[in-house]
Amino acid sequence: MPSYTAPTDDFRFIFFELLKIDESTDLPGYEQLDEALVSDVLEGAGKFCAEVLQPLNQVGDEHGCVFENGVVRTPPGFKEAYDAYCESGWNRLGAPEAYGGAALPAVMTFAVSEMAFSANQAFTMYPGLTSAAYSALAATGDRWMRETIVPKMIAGEWAGTMCLTEPHCGTDLKLMKSKAVEQEDGTYRLTGTKIFISGGDHDLTDNIIHMVIAKIPDEDGKLANDLSTVNFFMVPKVLVNEDGSLGPRNGVTCGSIEKKMGIKGSSTCVMNFDDAVAYRLGPAPKKKKDGGGTQKSKSQGMSGMFGMMNAARMGVGIQGVAIGEVAYQNAVTYANERIAGRALTGAKNPDDPADPIIVHPDVRRMLLQARSFVEGARAVAMWISHLFSVQRSQRSDEEKQDAADLTNLMTPIIKAFFTDMGFEATNAAMQCYGGHGYVRDHGMEQFVRDARINQVYEGANGVQALDLVGRKLTANGGRAPGVFFKLVDDYVAAQSANAEMAPFITPLKTGVQRLKDTTTWLAEHGLKNFDHAGAASVDYLRLFGIVTVGYMWARSAEIAQRRIAEIDAGGDGNKAFYETKLINARFWMERVMPDTASLHERATAGADTIMALDAASF
C-alpha cells in the first residue's frame, strides 16, 4: 500500500526564503500570509490529503466509475471524501470572502492542489475542474449567474466541467459541429456531442454546470468552417430557477464513460447535448464582413475559453510535479527496505545477507532524477503562481507587464515539460522496484498509468510546443523571451564573482546561451519554413524547461549556501535540509543541464529529414 507525506518543509522554503512572500504584503491576499497561517494551511491540507484522499487512491483505481441506466456512480468513499473536502473548505481557499472563501492567492491554492493531486489525482480533478469553471463563469457570466450559480459551485454544492473536445475534433476547434441556436428570450438551444469530458456526470453533487464551446449558425443554419462563430456557453445539467432552486432536467445526458488506462476514479464521459438550454457568456456577437461581403459573427467566447484552459494547463503541469513527488517518496521507502547485492565499494551492512538497494549508484541516479525535477519544478510553479498576483497588483506597469509576459511564456512549458518529466520521474521511481513495481501490490504501476494522461489532455504536449514557438516567442516582437533572458543574465552576472556558486552559475550560463542560440536559429529559419519551427518545437520546449528549472536551482543553492554558513556560525536551522538542497542542485547542473547541448543540436538540425518521406513510406 503506497503512502504520502506532504512536502511542507519544501513549500515553506520556497515561500519564505526563495519568494519571500511575507515581504509582498502589497499583493492582493498576501497581507495575511504570515508563517503561522501558511503553516496551518500546509499542515492541515497535508494531513487531510494523507489521511482521507490517499487511502482512496487505489480504491478508485480498482473500482473505477460505474455507468448504469444513464447514471454515473463514483468509487466507494469518493462522495464522503468530497463532502468532507468541501466542509473543510479546501475547495474554496482562493474564493472571495463574500462567497465563504479564504481569498488566498494562487501560491497557496496551487500548493494545496499539488498535495491533493499527489494523494489522489482522480479525486482531485472533480473540485479542480469546478474551480476552473466557476472562475470562468465569474469572469464572463451575467450578474444573475455570478449571484446564483457561482456561490453554489464555490460551496461545492454544484460541480463544473469544461466541454471542448468532440469525436471528430480535438485541438482543431474550427472542425466543431456543436451548434447553438438563439431563441427569442435570448437563450440558446445547444445540440452536439462532446467526448473525454472529465467529471461530465457523477453522483457527488446535485447539479453540474457545463462550460461549453459551440458555433452559432448563420441565417441559413450553416456552420462556418472557422473560429469566427465559436462562442462560450453555460449549460446546466439541471435548469436553475430565478431563486437558485433546481428546476427541470436540461437536455444534457451522459452517453457512456470511457474505459481508460488510468485515473479510473475520475468519470470521463461522452456528453450529449440535445436541444439543451444554453446561456451565452460574454457580449453579443458583433457582425463583421469578410472579403466577399458575407456577414460573420466575431467570436466572443474564445477569450473566456482560453482563460479557463490556461488555468487548467497550469494545474495539469502541477499534476506532473505531484505524481512525481508521491512516486519518489514511495521509491525511497522501498530502496531503503529492499536488500539485494552489495555496495560496489564494500558491504555497508555486513551483518545482513545483502545491502539495501539504495547503496547502488543507478538506484540513487533514478531517485535524484525524480527529486531534482520535483523540487526544481515546484519552485518554478510557485514562482509563476506568485507572478499571477503581481499582474493583479498596484505595482508599476513595467513590473506587471513583465509578470504577464513571463506567465504567458511559461504556461506551455509548465504544462508540457512538467508532465513529460513527471512521467519520467514516476517511471524511474517504478523502476526502483524492479518486478515488484510492475505488479499492483505496491501501487507504483497505478502512478505510471495515472501520470500518462497528463501529457495528453488540455492540449497534447506537442501542441504546447507549437504554441511556444509559434505564438509565445514571437508575441509583441519577442518581448517575453527577452524578459526571461535578462532575468537570468542579470542573476548570472550578479553571482559571477562568487566562487562558491561556480558549480551552479557556470552550467546555467552555458545552458541559457544554448537556449539563446536556438532561439536565434528559430527566428532565422522558422519563419522561412514553418516545418523547421515545428520540427524543433518539442526539443526547444524541453531545452527551455531545463534552463528554467536550472535558474530556480541556482537561486535555491545560493540560499542554501548562505543558510549553512549562518547555521555553522551558531544560527538556527536544519543544516541537513540545506545540504540536501545543494546536492539536488548539483545533480541538475551535472546530470540534466548537459542535455541542453544535444537538444540544441537536434532543434537546429532542421526539418528536411523529418519531412523527407512521403506518407506511404512510413
pLDDT digits (tens, 9 = 90+) for 121-170: 999 999 999 999 999 999 999 999 999 999 999 999 999 999 999 998 87
458 part of the active site: yes
Range in 222-231, 240-249, 434-443, 564-573 the model is least confident about: 222-231
Convert the pLDDT of each residue in 22-38 to its tens digit. 999 999 999 999 999 99
Contact 215, 302 (CB under 8 A): no
Convert the pLDDT of each residue in 472-523 to its tens digit. 999 999 999 999 999 999 999 999 999 999 999 999 999 999 999 999 999 9
- In degrees and rounded to multiples of 5, residue 163 shows phi and psi of -115, 95
Per-residue confidence at 226, pLDDT binned at 50, 70, 90? confident
Q: What span, in angstroms and rounded, lies between the C-alpha atoms of 379 and 363? A: 25
Q: Which domains does the chain have, with CATH numbers?
A: 8-140 (1.10.540.10), 160-285+299-309 (2.40.110.20), 313-325+367-429+450-603 (no CATH)
Give yes or no for residue 420 having a pLDDT over 70: yes
pLDDT at 289: 54
Q: What span, in angstroms and rounded, lies between the C-alpha atoms of 79 and 87? A: 12
pLDDT at 295: 47
- Other CB atoms within a 10 A radius of the CB of residue 390 amount to 19
pLDDT at 1: 84
Residues 6+ apart with CB under 8 A from 324: 370, 373, 374, 377, 421, 422, 425, 426, 429, 451
Give yes or no for residue 191 having a pLDDT over 70: yes
C-alpha cell at 269: 464521459
Tell the residue number behind the cell numbers 469553471, with chain if given. Answer: 133
- Of the listed 325, 445, 458, 558, which one is catalytic? 458
pTM: 0.96
What SS3 state is found at 559?
Answer: helix
C-alpha cell at 327: 512516486
